[in-house]
């Protein structure tokens, strides 16, 4: 998929586990894992907003497009 998810990088930079982020955002670890692996077909804007708030980032820091 040409959309790259940089979630692992952001989590590492903030010394946060995916479990901790999932709890703070209010999604399951399984759903966060699907997002982290790049296998997600979609993401709700409310989830994207919550992730950006917790990681103090912009959507462009989390998502990028590559051909």
Helix axes 18-25, 45-55, angle to 10 degrees: 120
Domain boundaries, the chain: 3-58
pLDDT given for residue 1 in this prediction: 64
Beta strands in the chain (DSSP E): 3-5, 63-65
pTM above 0.85, yes or no: yes
CA distance 7 to 47: 13
Per-residue pLDDT of the chain (67 residues; tens, 9 = 90+): 689 999 999 999 999 999 999 999 999 999 999 999 989 999 999 999 999 999 999 999 999 999 8
Contact predicate 55/35, CB 8 Å = no
CATH of 3-58 among 1.10.10.60, 1.10.1740.10, 1.10.260.40, 2.40.160.40 = 1.10.260.40
């Amino acid at each position: 998929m040409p959309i790259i998810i940089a979630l692992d990088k952001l989590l590492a930079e903030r010394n946060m586990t995916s479990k901790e982020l999932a709890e703070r955002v209010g999604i399951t670890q399984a759903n966060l894992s699907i997002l982290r692996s790049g296998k997600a077909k979609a993401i709700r804007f409310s989830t994207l907003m919550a992730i950006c708030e917790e990681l103090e980032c912009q959507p462009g820091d989390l998502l990028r497009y590559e051909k």
